[in-house]
Amino acid sequence: MFCKSGPRSPAVSCSQSAVIKIIQKKKLTGSVVDRDRSGRPRTSTSRQDRTLRRMSLTNCKLTSPQMLRQWVDTCGDVVVSSSTVRRRCLEFGLRGCKARRKPLLTDVHRCNRIQWARRYSSWTCKMWEKVLFSDESTFCLFGNQAHVYVRRFAGEEFKPECLNLTVKHPLSIMVWGCMAASGVGRLHIVDGTVNGNKYITILQKCMVPSAQQLFHGQYLFQDDNVPCHRAKTFTNWKRQNKIQTLDWPAQSPDLNPIENLWHKVALEISRRRPTTKRELIESLIATWNRVVTRDHLVKLVHSMPIFAADKSSRTRAGLSNTDPTTPIQPAFLKATYILQKKTHAAWLIFHDNNLVRKAEVWNCDTHKLTLFMTVYS
């Protein structure tokens, strides 16, 4: 069999000239592996790369074009593109990701969360079983399941069966519910905006009968810190009816186990695929009363001691001990202090055996940092 470069070797699927060249390379270099080539010259020096790395660490929310402009303004002689900036960041180990959505927490919020965790870290599962957790949630005809996974071939991303359909203003309903380790309470479909008087009506119709059904004796009622839950009318009604409540830190939806229950309900509703408001309400009620099991509720409530103990064991950087009755316990053995002068930011790296944790403090003065090191070092 012949081709333009000559006859093919019967043992391999390449031309005879290719075999001859490989034999010659083996004789000259002692190997058939391609040697490293110089390639295209690097467009930035190591010093310029370090400058880019400092810029990306100083402000992690800069886009590649913004970083490119600052890089050129700082170094002057850098002639690169935005794709080069992205490649350099990948070399540094800095990968572009979507920022996680979290509630805004101030220093006061963090301090209150820590104090709450320390106060209830010694509670047992039996004590948490006496708490009635409550919350409001919104369910829509579309979008109850944020992430939908499909298996498809390449180029089928826009096929109707591979799409997660959305609408701009989906039909939605707001519900109020409560739960405990012994079961779930009554659901209430909320109509319109909730104020103090409407919230009292909801509790009279749903919370009080649910508490009488789920508890045989005293209990603690839990709700968050939205304005209608702290209105004067509700506070007076609560005092008149002798309802004991569990104090709750602001901006702390992650502490409430009913949030996990709402997520399970939303997944079940998305599987039922309701198309009208009536079907949505029927699916919600059926899921709340039939799909939610007591074993799942017990697991959620029994996770509270572990969750509170984990929150109390974590050190929150930059917060002084404002409550003398709850002294801050040193959580780590050794602390290393690093200060970056340009951004007025500080990092306190704690070394606990072989575990290294980093806590970041922004806009801290010398007094606060000295106090922090005195408490935790």
pLDDT score recorded for residue 372 = 36
pLDDT at 186 over 70: yes
Contacts of 350 (CB under 8 A, 6+ apart): 315, 331, 332, 333, 334, 335, 336, 356, 357, 358, 359, 376
Give the torsion sign (CA, 240, 243, 248, 254). negative
pLDDT score recorded for residue 147 = 66
Q: What is the pLDDT of residues 36-70, one digit of tens each?
A: 777 788 889 999 999 999 999 999 999 999 999 99
Confidence of residue 191 (pLDDT cuts 50, 70, 90): confident
Strand-pair category, 355-362 with 345-352: antiparallel
pLDDT score recorded for residue 103 = 83
Fold category of 123-313 in CATH: Nucleotidyltransferase; domain 5 (3.30.420)
Q: What is the pLDDT of residues 24-37, one digit of tens each?
A: 988 888 888 887 77
pLDDT score recorded for residue 89 = 93
For the chain, the domains span 1-32, 46-91, 123-313, 334-376
pLDDT score recorded for residue 145 = 58
pLDDT score recorded for residue 143 = 63
Span 91-110, average pLDDT: 87
Q: Which amino acid is at 298?
A: V
Pseudo-torsion of CA 107, 112, 115, 121, nearest 10°? -120
Nearest partner of 332 among 311, 348, 320, judged by Cα: 348
- Selected residue with higher pLDDT from 97 and 132: 132
Confidence of residue 133 (pLDDT cuts 50, 70, 90): very high
Q: What is the pLDDT of residues 217-245, one digit of tens each?
A: 899 999 998 888 888 999 999 999 999 99
Confidence of residue 4 (pLDDT cuts 50, 70, 90): very low
pLDDT score recorded for residue 11 = 59
**In whole angstroms, what is the distance from residue 69 CA to residue 90 CA?**
18
pLDDT at 5 over 70: no
- Helix, strand, coil share (%) of the chain residues, nearest 5: 45, 15, 40
DSSP E strands, the chain: 2-3, 6-7, 131-140, 172-180, 183-184, 188-190, 220-222, 334-340, 345-352, 355-362
**In whole angstroms, what is the distance from residue 181 CA to residue 3 CA?**
80
Give the torsion sign (CA, 374, 355, 103, 136). negative
pLDDT score recorded for residue 257 = 92
pLDDT score recorded for residue 342 = 34
Residue 191 CA, chain-centre distance (Å), reads 31
CA distances from 39 to 47, 52, 79, 321 (A): 21, 23, 18, 58
Q: What is the pLDDT of residues 289-345, one digit of tens each?
A: 888 899 999 999 999 988 777 776 654 433 433 343 333 333 333 333 344 333 333
pTM of the model: 0.65
Q: What is the pLDDT of residues 139-175, one digit of tens each?
A: 988 766 556 778 888 888 898 888 877 777 878 899 9
Q: What is the pLDDT of residues 237-273, one digit of tens each?
A: 999 999 999 999 988 888 899 999 999 998 888 888 8
Listed range (6-10, 149-153, 214-218, 282-286) with the worst mean pLDDT: 6-10
pLDDT at 131 over 50: yes
pLDDT score recorded for residue 220 = 94
